[in-house]
Amino acid sequence: MLWVQLRVKNMKSKIRILIFCFLLISAASPSFSQPPGMGMRKWRGEHPCWRASDLDLSQEQRKNLELIQQAYFREAQLLRAQLFTRRLELRELLISPTMKMESIRSKNSEINELQSKHEERSVEYLIKVRNLLTSEQLQQWCPEQEFPPFRQMMYGTGPTGPMHPRKTFPPPE
């Protein structure tokens, strides 16, 4: 009988610890602690922040923003296509048993240069958008919301992890 009482007491303490941990985690988690609609602007004050296209832009600002966006996305699309091609080439080099390490490293350097160029173009795009906005609009603008790659560049990958499903390998024979 004593054994059963100790076991029940032990279970109660484990349940209390579990509940405490859940409450602690939920209180510390941003998804539970922030009211809905409060985005990333916590460090800049009470006001929410917006993408440039969501701000109260004049007709001329809208037209210029569209031109800036079109030019950026055209160039970014080309860079992304080149990155995709280089990554496929790197993959082929990596799985080839006869390929020399220098070729693999060289292809990786090409990829790094293209990634760097893409990031530079992203920052140039943001500078152009910044120059388009008034000082009042700048106070409400969040550059990290303009496009996901910049957000990842600043804050790392998101909580959802990789976008592709994990592949499972067949069991060894």
The domain spans of the chain are 38-155
Higher pLDDT, 99 or 12: 99
Q: Give me the pLDDT at residue 18, please.
A: 52
Q: Give me the pLDDT at residue 146, please.
A: 85
Q: Which CATH architecture has domain 38-155?
A: Up-down Bundle (1.20)
Higher pLDDT, 52 or 37: 52
141: phi then psi, degrees, rounded to nearest 5 = -90, 135
Q: Give me the pLDDT at residue 27, please.
A: 52
Cβ atoms within 10 Å, residue 68: 19
pTM: 0.58
pLDDT of 72 strictly over 90: yes
Q: Give me the pLDDT at residue 40, please.
A: 47
pLDDT single digits (tens) 104-127: 999 999 999 999 999 999 999 999
